[in-house]
Amino acid sequence: MVIDYSPNELMAVAGARELRDSQVVAVGLGLPVVASFLAKKTHAPNMTILFELGVIDPEPVDCGVGLADPRVWYRAKVLSSFVDILGSVLHRGRVDVGFLGGLESDEYGNLNTTLLGDPKGQFKHMVGSGGANDIASNAKSTIIIMRHEARKLRKTISFITSPGYLHGNDSRKQAGLCGGPSRVITDKAIFGFDPDSKKIVLLSIHPGNTLEDVVNTMDFEPIIPEKIPFTEPPSAEQLQIIREEIDPGKMYLG
């Protein structure tokens, strides 16, 4: 049986599969919300979800209009503050996974959410960091989820808001930062990182895309293994949970 699904749904499912039971996950706005609640409702019931504004393990009525919407806080185990989540939990090394989106990412997983520049020297200021820099700097690992376009996957990004592996090799460790990005999930593929060079590595291609579709829409060339599998499509159960329970209004899925 062929199951129809959107690129956003596949991205959310792929993100959920990277999460494990009993992990503590700091969740950013957007598809990370859908992915995290999908993991918790399926294979990771004991996972702890943190929102940087001070919310721990909510049971949302729906996705609301953002993380500051009280409908997303329903039945939360804790309603606290930025200071508690970022200071008492994250900076003490208690977060296993940071789940982030971004405007731009480079081949080392450095993220930009601060400003966009063009060759003429014109800059457009964006939302900035929020807690993303803290999460990327202090979580034990980071998952990045974003659109797959050459203007987003860039050789040189306009600004490093949230550090990945900085300039590769041991530069992140030398900067005194723990962890680092483990996955980049786009609407065309899933990437990991080479353990030595820390450069991005192509792990799988989403069904309906080719290797040329992936590499021709990037501003840098990833490490490409000899054999590249296709990403496993979402199951009917996963799609039902996403569509009927997590985001029926398509706030994040579009």
- Whether 94 is covered by a domain: the verdict is yes
- What pLDDT shows up at residue 42? 97
- The residue among 100, 80, 128 whose CA lies nearest residue 33 is 100
- What is the pLDDT, as a whole number, of residue 48? 97
- Position 1 in a domain: no
* Domain membership flag for residue 207: yes
Question: Domains in the chain: how many in total?
Answer: 1
From residue 167, give the alpha-carbon distance in Å to each of 53, 59, 117, 171: 31, 39, 20, 6
**Tens digits of per-residue pLDDT, 156-209?**
998 999 999 999 999 999 999 999 999 999 999 999 999 999 999 999 999 999
Can you give the pLDDT at residue 1? 59
Look up tokens 């729906």; give the residue: 62
Q: Is 217 left (phi over 0), alpha (psi -120 to 50) or beta?
A: alpha
- Residue 230 included in any domain: yes
| CATH number, position 46 | 3.40.1080.10
pLDDT in tens, 88-146: 899 999 999 999 988 999 999 999 999 887 767 777 788 788 889 999 999 999 999 99
Does the residue 2 lie in any domain? no
Position 7: which residue type?
P
The pLDDT value recorded for residue 119 is 65
Which tokens sit at 108?
Answer: 């080392």
Residue 42 lies in a domain: yes
pLDDT of 63 over the 80 cut: no
Q: What is the model's pLDDT at position 173?
A: 93
Angstrom distance (rounded) from CA 75 to CA 188: 36
Q: How far apart are CA 204 and CA 230, in angstroms?
A: 5
Residue 253 lies in a domain: no
Range of the domain at 132: 7-246
Are 193 and 180 in contact by the 8 Å Cβ rule? The answer is yes
Per residue in 1-34, pLDDT (tens digit) is: 568 999 999 999 999 999 999 999 999 888 999 9
> Where in the sequence numbering do the catalytic residues fall?
52
Residues 6+ apart with CB under 8 A from 91: 134, 138
**How buried is 84 (Cβ within 10 angstroms: 0-12 exposed, 13-18 middle, 19+ buried)?**
middle
| Any domain includes 251 | no
